[in-house]
Amino acid sequence: MNSFITLFQAAVAFGTVILFGCVGEILTERAGNLNLGVPGIMYLGGIASLASVFIYEGSTDSPSGIVCVIIAMVSAFIASALGGLIYAFLTITLKANQNVCGLTLTIFGGGVANFFGGSLNTLAGRFESVSVPATSAAFRQTLPGISGAGIVGKLFFSYGFMVYFAIAVAVIVHVFLHHTRRGLNLRTVGESPQTADAAGINVDKNKYLAICIGAGISGFGGVYYVMDYIKGTWANDGSIEKLGWLAVALVIFTTWKASHAIWGSYLFGLLYWMYYYIPGLTRRSQELFKMLPYAVTLLVLIVNSMKSSRDKQPPHSLGLAYFREER
């Protein structure tokens, strides 16, 4: 039972990182833009939050937890949304190829983050890595009393606020996309920008907003990873990039539905960490086990394309630039 609880907790923590990334990307892809810059955006979010609170914590003797959290979240959102804005400008206004721009954003974001992350580590001292204890503590603060109480408490209430925030964001995005007029407009832009344009929907504005806000949400995944998952430190080990690609995979797995992303992300976490709890695995076979999330995604992708049921397909104009005069 105990190992199940730790597995569950590990899965939720892992899942929360990619849940943010995935929900942001769902919003983006629903607008018809395949943004392969998610890893880069998560990098930008992570480093922006870390650098800004590092400065704040260094400037005051008694950093306040709430201020730390606000600074981290706001700076991460701005940095990630700016990353999204570069991508949006290139793909919408300049009509450049989406795949290529996204990949460039991943290279750029990873470069910026690891460059400054590494430099922060150097600043922090030769053998130490950067750390922001006050902020990390604020992010990891659980509900007092209830979190340690019994199995239910441990399973559902033993996490920092970002875990619940991620679920809330996913629900909001789901409601927005499927139960509001603006959400319908946005989905129309992703399915058929020509139709949307003819119906008087401003295609470019919708795309810009979806991409920038989507990027901001994805960036929170980086914040959660840096502040909670690795406890307010930085490591140049490329793990954010891996998680970013998993978030892209999760979008496919959920068939572009934010509501499915909630359980899907935890399932990915479960699949990812399962090797740790299966007895008798050698280090070699563990590596094979870590394929599971990707293999499952591939399976879902294949099965859905074979069934060709309409609500499980990618947005119809995903990946295509829209130019009004070209039909």
Partner 1 sequence: MNEPILRVIKRESMSFKGKLLVRAVSLILALLVCGIVITLITGYNPITVYVTMAQGAFGTKTRAWSTIKEMLMLSCIAIGLAPAFKMKFWNVGAEGQILIGGIVSAGCMIYLSNIGNAGLFVLMCILSALAGSLWAFLPALFKAKFNTNETLFTLMMNYVAIQLTSYFVAKWENPVGSNTVGVINQSGHEGWFPKIFGTQYFISLIMVIILAVFMHIYLRYTKHGYEIAVVGESENTARYAGISVPKVVIRTVLLSGAICGVAGFMAVAGASHTISTSTAGGRGFTAIIVAWLAKFDSATMLLISLLLAFLNSGSSEIASKCHLNDYASKIVIGIILFFILGSEFFINYKLVRGKKGEKK
Residues engaged in binding partner 1 (CB under 8 A): 34, 36, 86, 89-90, 93-97, 99-101, 103-112, 114-115, 118-119, 122, 236, 242, 245-246, 248-249, 252, 282-285, 287-288, 290-291, 294-295, 297-298, 301-302, 305-306, 308, 314, 319, 323, 325-326
Closest approach, Cβ 24 to partner 1, in A, equals 17
What is the distance in angstroms between the CA of the first residue and the CA of the last residue of the chain?
A: 60
Neighbours of 305 (CB within 10 A): 11
Closest approach, Cβ 238 to partner 1, in A, equals 9
Closest listed residue to residue 80, CA positions, set 56, 44, 131, 30: 44
Provide CB contacts within 8 A for 281, sequence distance 6+: 275, 289
Judged by beta carbon, residue 185 or residue 313, the one nearer partner 1 is: 313
Closest approach, Cβ 56 to partner 1, in A, equals 22
Closest approach, Cβ 241 to partner 1, in A, equals 9
Q: DSSP assignment of 184-222, as one string?
A: HHHHHHHH-HHHHHHTT--HHHHHHHHHHHHHHHHHHHH
Residue 255 has phi, psi (to 5 degrees) of 50, 50
Judged by beta carbon, residue 29 or residue 57, the one nearer partner 1 is: 29
Closest approach, Cβ 54 to partner 1, in A, equals 17
Judged by beta carbon, residue 133 or residue 238, the one nearer partner 1 is: 238
Residue 145 has phi, psi (to 5 degrees) of 90, -60
Closest approach, Cβ 39 to partner 1, in A, equals 10
Q: DSSP assignment of 127-151, as one string?
A: S-----HHHHHHHHPPPTTTTTSHH
Judged by beta carbon, residue 9 or residue 313, the one nearer partner 1 is: 313
**Residue 93 near residue 28, CB atoms below 8 Å:** no
Judged by beta carbon, residue 1 or residue 306, the one nearer partner 1 is: 306
Judged by beta carbon, residue 157 or residue 289, the one nearer partner 1 is: 289
